[in-house]
Every structure is written in C-alpha cells, then in structure tokens.
Amino acid sequence: MMDLKRPYRTMTEWSKKYGPIFRIKLGFQEMVVLTGYETVKEALVNQADAFADRPIVPIFEDAVKGFGIISARGENWKVMRRFTLSTLRDYGMGKRTIEDKITEECSVLTKTMEAYAGKPFDITTILTAAASNIIVSILFGKHYEYEDATFLQLLKIIGENIQLSGSPAVLLYNLFPKLGFCFGAYKTVMKNEKELHDFIRTTFIEYLQDLDENDQRNFIETFLVQQRQENMKTTHGGYFHNENLIGLVDDLFAAGTDTTANTLRWAILLMMKYPEIQRKVQKEIAKEIGDAQPRIDHQAKMPYTNAVIHEIQRFGDIAPYTLPYATTMDVTFKGFFIPKGTHIIPLLTSVLHDESQWEKPHDFYPEHFLDSEGKFVKRDAFMPFSAGRRKCAGENLAKMELFLFFTSLLQKFTFQPPPGISKDDLDLSPGVGLTSPPMPYKTCAVLR
C-alpha cells in the first residue's frame, strides 16, 4: 500500500480519504499523521509544548545515540538547542559578519562557474561545497577549496547518508531493527557515520591543545570552553560532553549543507524551466543592485526576487516530512485522544501544497507571495523550516544564504539547458532520500 520511495505521497492520498488526522501502523510502530495547514499549525504552534519531543528512530539512535540537537530528547535537547542558537548568533547568524563570509563564497562560486565557459556541467558538487563552506566556517573556522579531497569525502558521506536514510531499505530497518544485518544501506550509513565522527573527534582534539577561553574562534571551541567550565563546577558530568559535541557538529554540518544546496539546485533548474521568470528576476537585480555586490539590505527593495526564492522553497519542498515528533504528554487534539510518546508525522508537503491556502498549489507560481500591487507578502502556510519547538535552528542563516547566492548567480549568469535539450524536457520530479533534491541535471551558465 505504501510508496516506499516517497511515503509522503501515499500519506497525502490517504488524507483525502481519511481526513487531516489519521493513524497508521508501520511494522510494529503506530504513528499519527497530521496533514494540512490548519492541523499542522494547531499541533506544532498552538500546542507546541505537547508536540515537542522526538521518538526513538533506530537509524538515528544508532548514529548519534540521542545526542546533538535533531534527534535529542528531554532536557538534553533543551540545553543543546539553547547553546546552539546562542552560539550561532555569536558567530554572526543574521549579522554582517556572516554576510561577509557568504558574499566571499559567492565570488568563489561565480568564478568557478565562469571557468566552464558556458559549457554544460553538473552543478551539484560546487553548489554543495559553496553552501557547506558557510556552516564549516562557523563550526570549524575553516574554508575548503572545492576540490579539497577531505572536504569532498565529507560531502560525499553527508549526501550518501541523507539519501540512504530516506531509502526503502532504511525505512524497513527502522521498522524491524533486528534485521539490520540484512541491509547493505544500513551498514553503509553506519560506516559513513563512523568516518564523520572520527574526523570531528580528531578536529576537536586538535583545538583542545591550544584552547584559549578569551579567544574562541569557532563553534567547537565555544563548546569546549563550556565543557571545561562545566567540568569545574560538577563532578557527576553534565551535558557538555564529547558525545553531544560530535552529535551537534554532525547535525549542523549535514543540515547546513544539504538543504541549502538542494534548494539552490531547485532554483537553477526552475530558472531554466521558466526563463521568463529568470529574466524578470535579472531585471529587478539590474534595477536595484546593478553591478554591485548583492547584500542582504537589497532584499527589502526586491519583492519579485524575494517571492521567487520563497516559491522555490515551497515548490521544491525539500523536507516533505520532518523527522517524526512525539507527544510529551497525553493530549486531546481536535477530538482525538493521543497518548504520551506517540509518534507524530507532520506532513509539511501537505502544508506547502494545501489547496485551501495556495491559489496554484501544484504549479511554480511566484505570485503566491505578491499582492495586487507587486509587493511581497508573507504567507502563514509557508513552513519549509517546520514550526514550533523543533523549528530549524539555522533558518535565519539559510534565508540569508539563499538570497545572496541566488542573486549573485543570476546577476552574473543566465542558466540554460544544454544544447539539444529544451525547457520542456527538464524533469521536475523529486529525487529519493530523507530530503527531496531535484533529479540530476546539467546546466549551461552563460555570462551576461
């Protein structure tokens, strides 16, 4: 009954028959699926405290043991989220310092694209490297060249694990963990996790050697200073231990790389598919920015470009469903009794395509975010970063990256399909994985 490659599609179909709240049983695991804007908002925003936990998902439990931030639970999650948000702000999330890093990366990216001289190329690796370098600068205080072997291996590990974590084999493992030895995908994920964790551990051991509490240079060093201070105050151990550090860096590195890079891949594919929209964006860039370096201050004067970026996120639908939530208490929700600890699946794709909220939910239509006068308008049903207590911690950073990368690329280039391929041939169906990237494609970046 279930489309194992894209389970969210089956769940969406079921919601038409069974309504916006229904229960399913996968293997031995019962889950409650929430669909549509009103239902998801009521749970994640209006009753945020009741829907704020994470259940144990075997693949993530094996990978990070409930540490870090994404799959953490209880007090550990609260402490790590508080630390993460404050530290990301300290390192410039939403501020000028990180904006400068992003604009520098934009220059590196556009120069790399120029070298292809308008010939067809696969954009995946360089876009992923560019997006990743922003979170890498915060976590490690480093910048990698796009062809750096260590960096490319780390990006390969992250990409492979995100793709495999949403595969049918891993879905089956999560339902029947005792059969793990049967699944090659499970073994690959665990091997990759070990390699990534070894790299993180080696890195922070290096930083420990010359750690200066008065001169913290990156996220890892700030964590290590906190760890040192916590160890001085308590003998029974606290939350700032090495397993939480590895889990945090793993979570932020993967999430900060994959979603932004894949949104940009959708952006370029959609600009090739809809050249008239690409031209309108370029016209607005020429009017408001000219040849200057795009800055975040320009965004307020660029309603059409802003609307296009938001529509790319809505249509691209990078996270059709978030990782499962769990109820923190017994709750009566819209007439249904849901016991404490129940697995909850908020179907974000059903919010981003809710027919009661969007004029053309299944089309790419930037006018969703424009009023009759062409001014940008926010939409309540725009929830690509989820909502409530488990909302994406890097949302502000991702928004800044998307605007600066997108405008820098369209200022310099017009993106066209390779020779012999028309815009009508371009495939807009999503790939398979924990997130939904576009299918692989090549583009020609033609200098303007």
Annotated binding site for heme: 392
Alpha-carbon span 216 to 220, nearest angstrom: 9
What single letter denotes the amino acid at residue 383? M
Residue 75 CB: number of other CB atoms within 10 A?
9
Paired strand residues for 34: 21, 346
In contact, 272 and 417? CB cutoff 8 Å: yes
Helix axes 149-165, 124-139, angle to 10 degrees: 100
Classify residue 342 as exposed, middle or buried by CB count within 10 Å of its CB (0-12, 13-18, 19+).
buried
414 by DSSP, 3-state: which?
Answer: strand
Do 219 and 252 touch, CB atoms closer than 8 A? yes
Strands of the 413-416 sheet, one edge to the other:
121-122, 442-447, 413-416
Please, are residues 93 and 401 in contact by the beta-carbon 8 Å criterion?
no
DSSP 141-197: S----TT-HHHHHHHHHHHHHHHHHTSHHHHHHHH-GGGGGG-HHHHHHHHHHHHHH
Going by C-alpha positions, the residue among 311, 305, 268 that lies closest to residue 284 is: 305
The answer to whether the CB of 73 falls within 8 A of the CB of 53 is: yes
> Measured in whole angstroms, how far is the alpha carbon of residue 268 from the centre of its chain?
17
For Cα atoms 236, 237, 239, give the angle at the middle one, nearest 5 degrees: 145
Residue 179: how many other CB atoms lie within 10 Å? 11
How big is the chain, counted in residues?
448
Specify the DSSP element, H or E, that contains 79: helix 74-90
Q: Which residues are annotated as a binding site?
A: 392
- How many DSSP H helices and E strands does the chain contain? 15, 9
